Amino acid sequence: MTDLRKNWRSVVEGIGSCLPEKRVTNSDLEKTVDTTDEWIVQRTGIRERRIAGPGETTSTLATRAAMEALANAGRVAADVDLIVLATSTPDYTFPSTATQVQAALGITHGAAFDVQAVCSGFVYAMTIADKFLASGSHKCALVIGAETFSRLLDWSDRTTCVLFGDGAGAVVLVAQESEGRVSDRGVLTSHLRSDGRHREKLFVDGGPSTTGTVGHLRMSGKEVFRHAVGMVTDVMRDAFAATGTTADDLDWFVPHQANERIIDASAEKLGIAPAKIVKTVQMHGNTSAASIPLALSVACADGRIKRGDLVMLEAMGGGFTWGSVMVRW
Ligand code: ACO
């Protein structure tokens, strides 16, 4: 194993999540669009998803996830000097959802901003927060993935509306001194990529500067699928190379939860054992930037992910954007 940079390492101290109350099963969707439970399960693995109700917004879900993460870390809001929130479904065009969370938590110092990288949002946000902490400029970050994708969906389009769900997850990342060893806790390496030529394969057909509307999500599912496995396995290979580790060293693989077939194919391509895969897509659907912290939250709560475990995160989404983060938990 290779030695990494010295000094500050971004260590995960706590995790939290929040799901809307309303549960929508595939059978519920059978009543509103021309689809079947069998089709959805077979193509995606999804069985149900949560949908935000009146009064639930991206910032309210994010705030509850953040409060749970702070409690889990044994921290108070005043400790936080950085909030990086990944979302493509902000409460408002501006101000950022991160500043709404900051206000709801009663924080008036430090910095808060949103990151927009669609389904790769959490991987981007973790990477950005890690760079801030590693530079020594900030000490305690809330990194949040939060979405209300249900509000971007065309509920008459069966090719997209069955795939997505709402929710939020958050981690508390704290700067700790490190000797730079791969065996030390914290973010070990991250690799971000994007290629804007793929816009039309996955996009929202509205926006303040074009239509003046919010728009609806549009996706060529087959095209996205075709690129996904190659892209995410590339950046995971980068993570293995940077740390001198292999798939055998991983304790847990926590991918973006878009589609069970993409997850399984990516794991198989890299030789990651099925027992190491954390999957929540069946109960959450694709919650975009929220899917990884939601999955992490489930696997921490049920005792699978433990302190010291080697965890690989990866995601791919609209843009295209994609990336990986390797963390010693
Ligand atoms: N119920 C029943 N039938 C359906 C449904 C549905 N909900 N949706 C589509 N179909 C039909 C299609 O109309 C088509 O019928 P036809 O053959 O008569 O034309 C047939 O099912 C097959 O459709 P395909 O689109 O070819 O189905 P595919 O096997 O590709 O599965 C899916 C579609 C699940 C969307 C898949 O392509 C996929 O998962 N793509 C990747 C999506 C993804 O991972 N996105 C991640 C990023 S998301 C982000 O960044 C926001």
pLDDT tens, position by position, 301-318: 999 999 999 999 999 999
Determine the distance separating the centroid of ligand 1 and the alpha carbon of 219, expressed in angstroms.
Answer: 9
d(CA 273, CA 251): 10
pLDDT band for position 177 (cuts 50, 70, 90): very high
Of the candidates 138, 191, 198, 256, the residue annotated as catalytic is 256
The residue whose CA has the least distance to atom 14 of ligand 1 is: 159
For residue range 270-284, list pLDDT tens digits in order: 999 999 999 999 999
Distance between Cα 160 and ligand 1 center (Å):
7
Evaluate if residue 3 carries a pLDDT over 60. Answer: no
pLDDT exceeds 60 at position 60: yes
What's the pLDDT at 5?
Answer: 53
Predicted TM-score of the model (pTM): 0.96
pLDDT tens digits, one per residue of 224-273: 999 999 999 999 999 999 999 999 999 999 999 999 999 999 999 999 99
- How much of the chain, in percent, has pLDDT values that exceed 90? 97
Residue 18 falls in the annotated catalytic set: no
- How many C-beta neighbours within 10 Å does residue 137 have? 13
Mutation test residue for ligand 1: of 25, 200, 259, 286, the one with most atoms within 8 Å of CB: 259
Query: Is the predicted pLDDT of residue 4 greater than 80, yes or no?
Result: no
Confidence of residue 6 (pLDDT cuts 50, 70, 90): low
pLDDT tens digits for 179-229? 999 999 999 999 999 999 999 999 999 999 999 999 999 999 999 999 999
pLDDT at position 2 over 70: no
Average pLDDT over residues 291-299: 98
Pick the catalytic residue: 18, 26, 119, 259? 119
What are the residue boundaries of the structural domains of the chain, listed by start?
8-177, 186-328
Closest CA to 293 of 184, 173, 178, 194: 173
CATH topology agreement for domains 8-177 and 186-328: yes
- Is the distance from CB of 88 to CB of 147 less than 8 angstroms? yes
Give the mean pLDDT of 285-312. 98
Q: What CATH superfamily is the domain 8-177?
A: Thiolase/Chalcone synthase (3.40.47.10)
Share of the chain above pLDDT 70, in %: 98
Long-range CB pairs of 29-35, under 8 A, 24+ apart, other chains included: 29/161, 29/162, 32/155, 33/155, 33/156, 33/157, 33/158, 33/161, 33/162, 34/158, 35/158, 35/162
- Give the model's pLDDT for residue 120: 98
pLDDT of residue 7: 86
Q: How much distance in Å is there from the Cα of 221 to the middle of ligand 1? A: 5
* Ligand 1, pocket residues at CB < 6 Å: 35, 39, 43-44, 118-119, 158-159, 162, 202, 221-222, 224-225, 228, 258-259, 262, 286, 288, 317-318
Range 186-328 has CATH code 3.40.47.10: yes
Which amino acid, 258? A
CB atoms within 10 A of CB 163: 22
| pLDDT tens readout for residues 89-135 | 999 999 999 999 999 999 999 999 999 999 999 999 999 999 999 99
- Residues whose CB falls within 8 Å of the CB of residue 186, separated by 6 or more in sequence, listed in order: 9, 10, 11, 12, 176, 178, 327, 328
Which two three-digit tokens encode residue 68? 């749970």
Residue nearest to atom 32 of ligand 1 (CA): 221
